[in-house]
Structure 1
Amino acid sequence: MDLLLLADESEEMINSYIHKGSFLILEENNQQAVGVILLLHEDDKTIEIKNISILEQFQGKGLGRLLIKHTEERVKLQGVERLIVGTANSSIGNIAFYQKLGFRMYDIRKDFFLDYPEIIYENGIQAQDMIMFKKLLN
């Protein structure tokens, strides 16, 4: 749960989806979990990256990119054609990260983060809307 809370600040929200998905866990040599990605099947051809997080001391080393690339390879073998992921309008680093990996913006879920129990601020900006990205895997 601690790793998931790095990417989603609401334990209540995590509990609403944690048992619906599948995990890939990135471990260090001493078998400490340093990263996790939680995937939800939207339909036969679409998987949503519901949560991806890397321990702070391991961030900036390409591990998030590695997790996503590995996920792409695995799900393509299952016939999945697209990955989708959402991030807050205030998550400037995440917005750049997904675009660098080939994801394109396709939707905005207005007021998504206003339903969270606590107000979230990142980069001096209130998280209000969820920006949705998709990547075609063909």
Structure 2
Amino acid sequence: MNNLNMIKLEEIEQENRYKYLHFLLLADESEEVVRTYMNEGDLFAIYFNQQIVGTVLFTHHQNKVVELKNIAITENDRNKGFGKVVIEQSCNLYKQNGFTSMIVGTANSSIGNLAFYQKAGFRMVHIKKDFFLKYESPIYENGIRALDMVMFEKNLS
């Protein structure tokens, strides 16, 4: 099993974010949509054994809420526990920085993500109906069309 304590987050400077667009597109299929948020908040490269395995982007909201906007792990590095560790590390980081909750949204069709976030301690809080209708092409996963965004929240205090 991988030594998961070898996972490190390294913040990416604003002027270098465009170099990581291909990672962000692993988690969000619309380049047009990704470009609307990729320069907001905090973007981190995810390293394992000093090799980049993905990125994670967080945006800040009112009332000390941080949103996990995009987490992308390269295909070869998925299902190894990296995402779980990244969420644990980032929850600790944002809690230390005074945030009280973390939110995240995923498509109704993303069965694996729905399970993943609940296993990570997030609770469903609401649905953004027809969220994915604004995407230029329909998205299908698991034979289900992505239409709605399922929003989750995790208390950090």
TM-score by length of 2: 0.85
Q: In 2, Cα distance between the equivalents of 1:19 and 1:132?
A: 22
Matching residue within 16, 31, 34 for 1:11:
31
- 2:75 counterpart of 1:56: yes
Q: In 1, Cα distance between the equivalents of 2:142 and 2:70?
A: 20
| SS in structure 1 at match of 2:98 | coil
The 5-angstrom pairing of residues 86-105 of structure 1 reads: 86-105=105-124
| SS in structure 2 at match of 1:26 | strand
Name the Cα RMSD after superposition. Answer: 0.9
The 5-angstrom pairing of residues 59-138 of structure 1 reads: 59-138=78-157
Q: How far 1:130 sits from its partner (Å)?
A: 0.1
Q: How far 1:28 sits from its partner (Å)?
A: 3.2
| SS in structure 2 at match of 1:20 | coil
Q: In 1, Cα distance between the equivalents of 2:130 and 2:63?
A: 28
Q: In 1, Cα distance between the equivalents of 2:90 and 2:48?
A: 18
Q: In 2, Cα distance between the equivalents of 1:51 and 1:10?
A: 12
Work out whether residues 45 and 80 of structure 1, in 8 Å CA contact, stay in contact via their aligned partners in 2: yes
Q: How far 1:23 sits from its partner (Å)?
A: 1.2
TM-score by length of 1: 0.96
Name stretches of at least 5 consecutive residues in structure 2 with no aligned partner: 1-20
Q: Which amino acid aligns with 2:95?
A: K
Q: How far 1:15 sits from its partner (Å)?
A: 0.3
Q: Which amino acid aligns with 1:34?
A: V
Name stretches of at least 5 consecutive residues in structure 1 with no aligned partner: none
Work out the number of aligned pairs and report it.
Answer: 137
Matching residue within 39, 46, 51 for 1:26:
46
